[in-house]
Amino acid sequence: MDIIALVGPSGTGKSHRALIVAHEHHIDTIIDDGLLIKDSKIIAGHSAKKEASKIMAVKRAIFMEEDHAQEVREAIKNVMPTRILVLGTSINMVEKIVHILELPKISKVIMIEDIATPAEIAKARESRLKEGKHIIPVPTIELKPHFSGYLIDPLDIFFKKPKTRRRKIGEKSIVRPTFSYYGKLLISDAAIATIVDHVATNVPEIPNTSQINIKYSPDKEKGISIYLDITVQYGNSLWDITYQAQRRIKSMVEQMTGLVVKEVNVCVKRLSLE
């Protein structure tokens, strides 16, 4: 099984060109925004474009929900594709999808700039920003059970070579996700720190915290790093207390914010004898 990646920033036309790329590289299966698509049919998965918020859409697109990931893993085993095209906004995102779905290593990376002109990319961005239009590379009739009320219109795709007649190779559907109507969602460091403090001190073994810092990776998809100092009640296993605190904090921050927590670094600053 060969894995090919199609990479480009959000709204630059990856889904729009997925069928053409698949045709040119003899790819029979596409993974795009949480969906497994084979021969223009949705085989498994749940589309990120149907999520109510951008945060949940990102989590859906990278298969962070285990039941979602397992459904797609099993479907891949059943349909046995020969070559899969995985779409993502960065190489890191595609590698994460490949890892979660337990696929072979990526054999080739195609950048959107390699297959689209600057003018075409600009036009795709304008359509996304002004009209909130997103494309899924499957026919409208296939999408109806998944997107009742979301569809805008279908878009036929043609494969064209110089001095040849145009030959239809598939159909894509344009959808306008719910989150396209919303504005930006900003989560401050203070809000995340409040979650961290509450979760950490929600057990009697940790009376209080101090110096909570949130750091962001240059590549936002790699997630955030959380640093905090804690006080531990004397007589408890420091390793066990800090390990459990790390697990609780990571789980709750990801659940409440939708952010990926890369690491939780806990420093035991003092012991409480009270």
| Distance of alpha carbon 226 from alpha carbon 245, whole angstroms | 12
- Please report the DSSP string for 17-55 in residue order: HHHHHHHHTT--EEEETTEEEETTEEEEE--GGGSSSHH
Q: Answer for the pair 255, 195: CB distance below 8 angstroms, yes or no.
A: no
Q: Mean pLDDT lowest for which of 119-133, 171-185, 220-234, 239-253?
A: 171-185
> How do strand 261-272 and strand 224-233 relate by DSSP bridges?
parallel
What is the Cα Rg of the chain in Å? 22
pLDDT per position as a tens digit, 66-111:
999 999 999 999 989 999 999 988 999 899 999 999 999 999 999 9
Query: Is the model's pLDDT at 182 over the cut of 70?
Result: no
Exposure string over 8-21, b if 16+ CB within 10 A, otherwise e: beebbbbbbbbbbb
* DSSP structural state of residue 271: E
- CATH code assigned to 189-272: 3.30.70.1350
Domain boundaries, given as residue ranges, for the chain = 2-181, 189-272
Q: Mean pLDDT lowest for which of 54-58, 94-98, 146-150?
A: 146-150
Q: What is the pLDDT of residue 131?
A: 52
pLDDT per position as a tens digit, 213-265:
999 877 655 678 999 999 999 999 999 999 999 999 998 888 777 777 889 99
